[in-house]
């Protein structure tokens, strides 16, 4: 039986609203006919969520946000609350990304409050976890378990099955970085699944890999039994590259990509 795989992207601080519209216009023909065992989602900047809603409403592609404030309202200039995101049709909200932790000093206690806010408004939190530097795997596994336990501390038991996790080792993201080896990814995902299965009795929690994924590496990563999908960063800024990743490991109708690129090679 074919397993469901999730493939999503966060654009980070890229693409204006006009550029986002062009991105969706190029993507949609390229993923037309994508089989049901592959589900897609897109997390644009706050300023382009409305564009995602306009282009993706009625499609199988979900949209969401890259961050959220833990409070539902208040005097928090420049922040965006969960009810605002839910009102825009967001289904997934990313929390705990290494760049948020590094650049904004976010700690697990704050991330836990954000997870609770996302769930409170009917959306799914996508928690990013991962080690900063390479190290012995036993130490990595212990770090991941500790981070999960603290970042998910405020999730009520009935909501645990709605959590999503992205494994993003900080050393494997950003310009110039390379994806972790399939062997390392498999071990890390297995460790994450082991912890999550003990934590949640309500179903399987998907664990996506999100460290510098491209179309060349995607098939091997998706073939790993412990990898439930991919969370793509800079390589997805090219909509056709994201489409190639979405089709990774599947029989692909070549005419879809040829039509999307205007028949050019």
The pLDDT-based confidence of 181 (bands split at 50, 70, 90) is confident
Contact 44, 56 (CB under 8 A): no
Is there a catalytic annotation at residue 241? no
Which of 77, 120, 72, 127 lies closest to 98, judged by CA? Answer: 127
Q: pLDDT-based confidence at 117, cuts 50/70/90?
A: very high
Q: What pLDDT, in 10s, does the model give residues 49-67?
A: 999 999 999 999 999 999 9
Which one from 97, 189, 193, 235 is the annotated catalytic residue?
97
Q: What mean pLDDT do residues 180-191 have?
A: 89
pLDDT attached to residue 265? 39
pTM: 0.92
Give per-residue pLDDT as tens, 145-167: 999 999 999 999 999 999 999 99
pLDDT tens for 120-146 read 999 999 999 998 878 788 999 999 999
pLDDT digit string, tens, across residues 191-245: 999 999 999 876 689 999 997 788 998 999 999 999 999 999 999 999 999 999 9
Report the distance separating Cα 111 and Cα 168, nearest Å: 16
Structure-token pair, residue 184: 């390392």
pLDDT exceeds 60 at position 263:
no
Q: With 90 as the cut, is the pLDDT of residue 254 above it?
A: no
Binned at pLDDT 50, 70 and 90, residue 253 comes out as low
Please compute the mean of the pLDDT values over residues 172-182 and round it to a whole number.
73
Residue 175 clears pLDDT 80, i.e. is over it: no
CB of 29 within 8 A of CB of 256? yes
Q: How far does Cα 166 stand from its chain's mean position? A: 6
80 neighbors 69 (Cβ within 8 angstroms)? yes
Selected catalytic residue, list 99, 106, 131, 168: 168
Domains belonging to the chain, first-starting first, are 5-260 (3.20.20.70)
Model confidence at 110: pLDDT above 70: yes
Cα–Cα dist 233/212, whole Å: 7
* 97 among known catalytic residues: yes
42 sits in which H/E element: strand 38-43
pLDDT tens track for 11-45: 999 999 999 999 999 999 999 999 999 999 999 99
């Amino acid at each position: 039986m074919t397993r469901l795989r999730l493939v999503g992207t966060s654009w980070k601080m890229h693409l204006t609203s006009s550029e986002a519209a062009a991105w969706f216009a190029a993507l949609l023909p390229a993923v037309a006919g994508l089989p049901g065992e592959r589900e897609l989602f897109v997390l644009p900047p706050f300023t382009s969520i409305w564009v995602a809603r306009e282009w993706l409403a009625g499609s199988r592609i979900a949209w969401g946000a890259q961050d959220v404030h833990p409070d539902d309202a208040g005097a928090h200039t420049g922040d965006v609350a969960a009810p605002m995101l839910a009102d825009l049709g967001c289904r997934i909200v990313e929390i705990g990304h290494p760049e948020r932790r590094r650049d904004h000093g976010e700690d697990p206690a704050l991330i836990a409050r954000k997870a609770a806010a996302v769930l409170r408004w009917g959306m799914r939190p996508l928690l990013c976890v991962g080690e900063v530097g390479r190290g012995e795997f036993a130490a990595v596994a212990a770090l991941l378990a500790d981070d999960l336990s603290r970042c998910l501390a405020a999730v009520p038991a009935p909501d645990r099955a709605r959590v999503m996790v992205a494994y993003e080792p900080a050393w494997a993201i950003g310009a110039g970085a390379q994806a972790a080896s399939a062997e390392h990814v498999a071990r890390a995902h297995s460790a994450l699944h082991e912890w999550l299965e003990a934590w949640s009795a309500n179903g399987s929690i998907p664990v996506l890999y999100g460290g510098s994924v491209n179309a060349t590496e995607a098939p091997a990563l998706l073939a790993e039994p412990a990898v439930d999908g991919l969370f793509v960063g800079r390589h997805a800024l090219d909509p056709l590259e994201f489409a190639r990743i979405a089709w990774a490991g599947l029989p692909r109708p070549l005419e879809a990509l040829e039509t999307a690129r205007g028949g050019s090679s």
